[in-house]
Structure formats: structure tokens, C-alpha cells
């Protein structure tokens, strides 16, 4: 196992059930209360018989390395305590593994789309109580080129600008920080030529934004794809065409009413395999973070992981 900081806790010998869990915590999340939440989660898991390993991330990719170790050591449960970025890295620790532990989520970020989609409480204290649950749900995962994503991938100049939102603004403004950055991009020439091939169909044209979502919650907004379910075996995709200011407002209204797929300014479709390319250099936004440049290949991995969810979900 990699020599990264860890702490292992367990009940007295004879009082535990040999199940192992790993808490991967980003200590800078949750208004810097993440370590306290990790300790509370560890205590909860010990109560129900787990041996607990607590690993704190220090730099980029630590969560991925920790999760790789959890897969190799066949841990029963991996708990991601952090934001969507920490969760994205954690999931990518499973990319090459045939064995995948059950996943639990303690949402400590700004948006927490995956937790929203699975109705995991956004209050960390309540999310910790979900660790007592015996209910799991299958979740689809997306694969873009050689990495996994758990919620959404977007492409276009608007998507690239959203990757540049500073962390302090996200903490202060939440979803409005993305709106602010998007508005600045739309002031200029935001459209790019895109060619999108999906399930033997093709779309070509100028677009300000392409989105492929696994869940109904994107950027904390739960009306982008209201019919999307985490286990429906589909990527829910939207291509926002090149629009003027008035048409952009119309698209915004369709988004607010959960009717985006019926807007004449939007090409909406579902698919399991997609290729996106452009004659321009276009970067992507993957699970809220800056991603690879086009071209990209997107594949759906149906029911790829088991997630611990509240009993009533």
C-alpha cells in the first residue's frame, strides 16, 4: 500500500465483524470541518463493526491512489468525504479494477450533485447517519477517454469558463458563481463548431455548450434533465445551439421549467456512446473541474458501482 498518511481504528478484538472501510477525506472541504466529520464517520462505522482506515488527501490524485489501494486490498466500503472533485478522484481509483468496494458519500462541497441525485442528505451530520444503512443502489458511471466521471461532462467555451471559477467564489456564492462566470463568457463570441456522433446518429453546427449528464442534478440545479435517473442506463445530452441574447433567455426559461429538451434552440438526445470533436481547440469540464480537450469518446458503464443510500431511497 502506498505510503500516504493513514490511521486505522477498530473495536476491541472479538467485537468486530472483519468488514473493512476506508474514509478518504479532503481536509479543506466543509469549511475546514472535514476532519471532524471524518472522525464522526469513523466512530459511526466502528459502532457497527467496521475496521476503519482514515486517509487525508494532501495533493491532486491522492484520493485516486487511496481508492486504488482500497480496491487492491478488497475493502468492503469506501467513504468519500469532500466535494464533487474529491468524489471524482475517488471514483477514478476504480477505473481499472474488477473489484469495486461499496461507495458512501459525505457531501462537503459547494454543489454535491451526486449526493443530490441519490437523495443523500446534504447535511454532513445526517449523511454520516446513512453509514448505518443496509440499502445500496446501483449507479451508472461515464467513461471519457481513459477516465471516469460520476455526474457530468460539458464542452464548449462556456464549459471551459466554468472550470475557471475560483474556489473562494464557489464557497461564497455557490451556484451563482457559475452564473456570474457564464455571463461574462456569453458577452463575447461563445459559439464553437461541434460535430457530435452518437449511437449511429450525427449532429453538426455551432454551439455554446454541450452537456452529457448521468443525473438530474447539474451545478446544483435539478431541472436540467428532470427525468434522468442514476441507474437508467443512459447519458442525457443537450446541445445548446448558437443563440442571440433573446434566444439565450428563452433557453434559460426552458431550463428553469425543466423543459429544456423541447426547446427549439436545443438539440436533446439520449445515448450510450458519444464522440465529440471540433475544428477548434476546445477544452471540457468534467464533474466541475477542467478536463481534457476535444476530441473525446464517451461511454456509459451501466450499474457500475454500488452506493450506500438512505433506507427510504
Spatial separation of the C-alpha atoms in residues 273 and 300, rounded to whole Å: 6
Q: Under DSSP, is residue 229 helix (H, G, I), strand (E, B) or coil?
A: coil
Catalytic residue among 6, 19, 277, 289: 289
pLDDT single digits (tens) 43-93: 999 999 999 999 999 999 999 999 999 999 999 999 999 998 999 999 999
Q: What is the pLDDT of residue 168?
A: 56
Q: What is the mean pLDDT of residues 11-15?
A: 45
| DSSP assignment string, 289-303 | EEEEESPEEEEEEEE
Lowest mean pLDDT: which of 38-42, 253-257, 299-303?
A: 253-257
pLDDT single digits (tens) 200-223: 899 999 988 898 999 888 776 666
- Is 19 in the active site? no
Q: Which domains does the chain have, with CATH numbers?
A: 6-132 (3.40.50.10330), 152-302 (2.60.200.40)
E strands, 83-229, are 102-107, 136-144, 147-149, 152-155, 192-198, 201-213
**Sign of the dihedral through C-alpha 12, 307, 69, 163:** negative
CA distances from 199 to 202, 232, 275, 286 (A): 8, 16, 9, 21
CB of 138 closer than 8 Å to CB of 305: yes
Widest CA span in the chain: 68
Q: 198 - beta bridge partners?
A: 201, 274
Distance of CA 283 to the CA centre of its chain: 18
CB of 25 closer than 8 Å to CB of 35: yes
pLDDT single digits (tens) 238-269: 898 876 544 555 445 445 445 566 667 789 99
Q: What is the pLDDT of residue 56?
A: 97
Distance of CA 158 to the CA centre of its chain: 19
| Burial (CB count <10 Å: 0-12, 13-18, 19+), residue 27 | middle
Helices 84-91 and 62-72: crossing angle in degrees, nearest 10, is 40
pLDDT for 21 beyond 90:
yes
How close are the terminal C-alpha atoms of the chain, in Å?
35
Arithmetic mean of pLDDT over the chain: 83
Amino acid at each position: 500500500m502506498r505510503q500516504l498518511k493513514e490511521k486505522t481504528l477498530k473495536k476491541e478484538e472479538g467485537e468486530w465483524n472483519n468488514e473493512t472501510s476506508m474514509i478518504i477525506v479532503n481536509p479543506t472541504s466543509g469549511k475546514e470541518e472535514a476532519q471532524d466529520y471524518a472522525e464522526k464517520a469513523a466512530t459511526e462505522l466502528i459502532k457497527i463493526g467496521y475496521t476503519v482506515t482514515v486517509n487525508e488527501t494532501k495533493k491532486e490524485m491522492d484520493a485516486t491512489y487511496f481508492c486504488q489501494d482500497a480496491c487492491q486490498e478488497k475493502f468492503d466500503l469506501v467513504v468519500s468525504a469532500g466535494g464533487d472533485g474529491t468524489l471524482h478522484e475517488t471514483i477514478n481509483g476504480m477505473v481499472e479494477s474488477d473489484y469495486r468496494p461499496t461507495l458512501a458519500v459525505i457531501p462537503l462541497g459547494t454543489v454535491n450533485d451526486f449526493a443530490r441525485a441519490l437523495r443523500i442528505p446534504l447535511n454532513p451530520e445526517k449523511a454520516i447517519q446513512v453509514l448505518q444503512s443496509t440499502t445500496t443502489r446501483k449507479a451508472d458511471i461515464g467513461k471519457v477517454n481513459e477516465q471516469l466521471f460520476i455526474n457530468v461532462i460539458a464542452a464548449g467555451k462556456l464549459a471551459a469558463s466554468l472550470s475557471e471559477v475560483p474556489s473562494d467564489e464557489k464557497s461564497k456564492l455557490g451556484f451563482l458563481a457559475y452564473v456570474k462566470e457564464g455571463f461574462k463568457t456569453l458577452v463575447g463570441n461563445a459559439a464553437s463548431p461541434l460535430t457530435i456522433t452518437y449511437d449511429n446518429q450525427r449532429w453538426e453546427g455551432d454551439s455554446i455548450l454541450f452537456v452529457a449528464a448521468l443525473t438530474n442534478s447539474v451545478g446544483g440545479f435539478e431541472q436540467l434533465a428532470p427525468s434522468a435517473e442514476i441507474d437508467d442506463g443512459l447519458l442525457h445530452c443537450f446541445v445548446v445551439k448558437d443563440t442571440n441574447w433573446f434566444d439565450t433567455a428563452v433557453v434559460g426559461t426552458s431550463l428553469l421549467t425543466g423543459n429544456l429538451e423541447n426547446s427549439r434552440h436545443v438539440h436533446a438526445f439520449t445515448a450510450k456512446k458519444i464522440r465529440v470533436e471540433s475544428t477548434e481547440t476546445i477544452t471540457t469540464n468534467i464533474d466541475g473541474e477542467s478536463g481534457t480537450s476535444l476530441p473525446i469518446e464517451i461511454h456509459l458503464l451501466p450499474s457500475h458501482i454500488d452506493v450506500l443510500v438512505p433506507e427510504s431511497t
